[in-house]
């Protein structure tokens, strides 16, 4: 594996770790909003739930990119 590919993998793994941390934070806040239960918090829950879906998709895409790089695919 070339040094350039290894550098790309490292960068993408760092991005993945950041996304996973942000996802954990979203899920924690989502749980807190769910526990509150009033209408204002339900709106917060809905927003955080949508954020969670978005972050899961982003995490999945980054994992695909890393897998392609690790397998030597450039596209």
pLDDT tens, position by position, 4-57 = 899 999 999 999 999 999 999 999 998 888 887 765 657 888 899 999 999 999
Q: What distance lies between CA 59 and its chain's CA centroid? A: 4
Domain borders along the chain are 28-70
Let me know: does 41 contact 5? Beta carbons within 8 Å.
no
Other Cβ atoms within 10 Å of 38 Cβ, number:
9
pTM of the model: 0.83
Q: What distance lies between CA 64 and its chain's CA centroid? A: 12
Distance from C-alpha of 43 to C-alpha of 26, rounded to nearest angstrom: 14
Phi, psi torsion values for 38, nearest 5 degrees: -85, 170
């Amino acid at each position: 594996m070339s040094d350039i590919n290894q550098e790309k993998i490292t960068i993408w793994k760092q991005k993945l770790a950041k996304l996973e941390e942000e996802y954990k934070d979203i899920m924690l806040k989502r749980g807190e909003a769910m526990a509150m239960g009033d209408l204002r918090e339900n709106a917060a829950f809905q927003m955080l739930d949508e954020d969670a879906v978005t972050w899961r998709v982003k995490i999945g895409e980054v994992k695909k990119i890393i897998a392609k790089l690790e397998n030597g695919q450039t596209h």
